[in-house]
Amino acid sequence: MDVVIAICDDLPEERASLAQMVRACCQKRNIRDRIHLFSSGEDLLSSFRPGRFHMVFLDIYMNGLSGMEAARKIREKDSICALIFATTSHEHGIESFEVRASDYLVKPFRLEDVDDALEWCLSNMPEEFRCLSVCSRWEQVEIPMGTIRYIEIRDYQAHIFTEGETIVTRRGMDELEAEINSEDFLRCHRSFLINMNHAHNLEGNAFRMKAGDLIPIGSTSAAWARERFINWTFQKTWRQK
């Protein structure tokens, strides 16, 4: 798994020290880190785009745009990346709730505090950032969860249909469903697991996917699958308001 992290601090030694700690925490978890360093809030915002970073470490007290001001501008564009404040004071603790900060680290940093912040962010990573790891054609493949349209078991193999390709792996549906462990996925048939984000509507005893595929609903679970999809659609709509 790759984790893309931004570290923004106007002091070079602080940026380097925090980057070293973050890299050590990632290596302990066998995570490939891609760390981008920024010397100012303006520098960060000029490179920022929604979905680019999984986490952003922000110093609050910087020349020019403060970390809190930068965080507010980030939240105008991106509601899901994790924001971790890194500063010398608890003074802005209340304000950090306004931008839904994931953590608040006080300098001088301790490795265990950085590790705890990273662990929390990884454990609560949104579906858009999570990946499913499978072995296909003798290679380990990381599949972004959000790109999976549905999975079909056929000829004792799992066919994972994504937005760009179909990936085949020798894994069972029960195992895949347990690893995915997401409310966005629905086991509508013993041989099919769909990502409801890619479902267009219910059509008879099947789901019509946005790409046009028709996915059957098992006869024994038809009522339950319909109710689950309707409730999920309602909750998704409510959360987006």
**Where exactly are the structural domains of the chain?**
2-125, 129-240
pLDDT at 50: 80
Residue 104: pLDDT band with limits 50, 70, 90: confident
Higher pLDDT, 2 or 16: 16
Beta bridge partners of 169: 158
Nearest to 109 by CA among 11, 18, 9: 18
Residue-wise pLDDT for 149-181, tens only, equals 999 999 999 999 998 899 999 999 999 999 888
pLDDT at 81: 87
The 8 Å CB, 24+ separation contacts for 210-218 are 210/149, 211/149, 213/149, 213/150, 213/161, 215/150, 215/188, 215/189, 216/188, 216/189, 216/192, 217/188, 217/189, 218/188, 218/189, 218/190
What is the β-pairing status of strands 103-106 and 166-169?
A: unpaired
Query: Residue 31 phi/psi, 5° resolution?
Result: -105, 135
pTM: 0.60
The mean pLDDT of the chain is 88
The architecture of the domain spanning 2-125 is 3-Layer(aba) Sandwich (3.40)
Residue-wise pLDDT for 64-100, tens only, equals 998 889 999 998 888 788 999 888 766 655 556 667 7
CATH of domain 129-240: 2.40.50.1020
Residue-wise pLDDT for 183-199, tens only, equals 899 999 999 999 998 99
pLDDT at 32: 84
Listed in sequence order, the DSSP H helices in 30-169 are: 41-47, 67-77, 93-98, 111-123
Mean of the pLDDT values across residues 5-25? 95
